Amino acid sequence: MAGPTNLSGTYDFFPTLGELVIYAFNNAQIRPTSLTQEHMVSAKQATNMMLARWANQGVNLWEVKLATIDLVEGTATYTVPTNTVTVLDVYARTQQGSDPPVDRPLLPISRSEYSTYANKTQQGVTTVYWFDRLLAPTLTFWLVPDGQTFQQVQYYYVTQMQDSNLIGGQQPDIPYRWLEAFADGLAYRLARIWKPEMAVALKAGADESYQIAATQDVEQAAQYITPDTSSYWRT
């Protein structure tokens, strides 16, 4: 059986924040004709609060970026962008002349572990890093870069989602596959303010939509774990 033939041929559907807000209010049974400026102010706040919650709930793959730090001999601590939510993978890079670069992964440590190191200024081959989640976050390396072994550190980090504003036809900083979760989550948050009798029912739908989107927002790669059983066998 042949498939449909009268298709749009486009992939442009992506509502503005204003359109999503109206849709969310509709889901809370608040019609567009009754909306006021006060409704829109609460919608803007609810939207940005929801995006902050999403940043805490897990890694948002569309916000993962790659950054480079040029290492300086004797310098252990480096600033990272202030919109960094968390750091994922970190690796040190060395390159000799025209040879291809060689990367070596660095392992994360906690503040407590870093505090146990007796000589925090000791230079050598860097093996670990501490991500300090301050308002102005930093990465601290140990051993301290010696200016010879590694020239750079590259790292993947998750950034904060861009602010949502109800002006100029702006769109939220999310991919297409998260539109339903966005609209359902916003409907629930707006119902808590304007239609509390519907909040419980809308929360169930919001949780379901978020779970579906979050389940799919992962890297599609197989992971294999093989135990080392060599010590169990004797020759």
Place 225 in a pLDDT band, splitting at 50, 70 and 90: low
DSSP secondary structure, 160-206, as one string: PPPPP-SSTT---SS-GGGHHHHHHHHHHHHHHHH-GGGHHHHHHHH
- For residue 93, what pLDDT is reported? 94
Q: What average pLDDT does the segment 130-144 reach? A: 97
Q: Where are the beta strands (DSSP E) in the chain?
A: 64-70, 77-79, 84-94, 102-105, 107-108, 123-124, 128-132, 138-142, 144-145, 152-159
pLDDT for 229 beyond 90: no
Per mean pLDDT, which range of 5-9, 110-114, 170-174 is the poorest? 5-9
Separation between Cα atoms, residue 59 and residue 214, nearest integer Å: 9
What mean pLDDT is reported for the chain? 93
Rounded to 10 degrees, what is the CA torsion of 180, 54, 106, 75? 130
pLDDT for 226 beyond 70: no
Closest CA to 190 of 49, 42, 19: 42
Q: How confident is the model over 140-167, as pLDDT tens digits?
A: 999 999 998 999 999 999 999 999 999 9
Closest CA to 139 of 211, 94, 190, 80: 80
- For residue 158, what pLDDT is reported? 96
Contact in structure between 126 and 107 (CB atoms under 8 Å): no
For residue 87, list its beta bridge partners: 157
pLDDT > 70 fraction of the chain, expressed in percent and rounded: 94
Check the CA dihedral 40-45-48-52 and report its sign. negative
- For residue 230, what pLDDT is reported? 58
Place 128 in a pLDDT band, splitting at 50, 70 and 90: very high
Q: What average pLDDT does the segment 56-68 reach? A: 93
Q: What average pLDDT does the segment 166-186 reach? A: 96
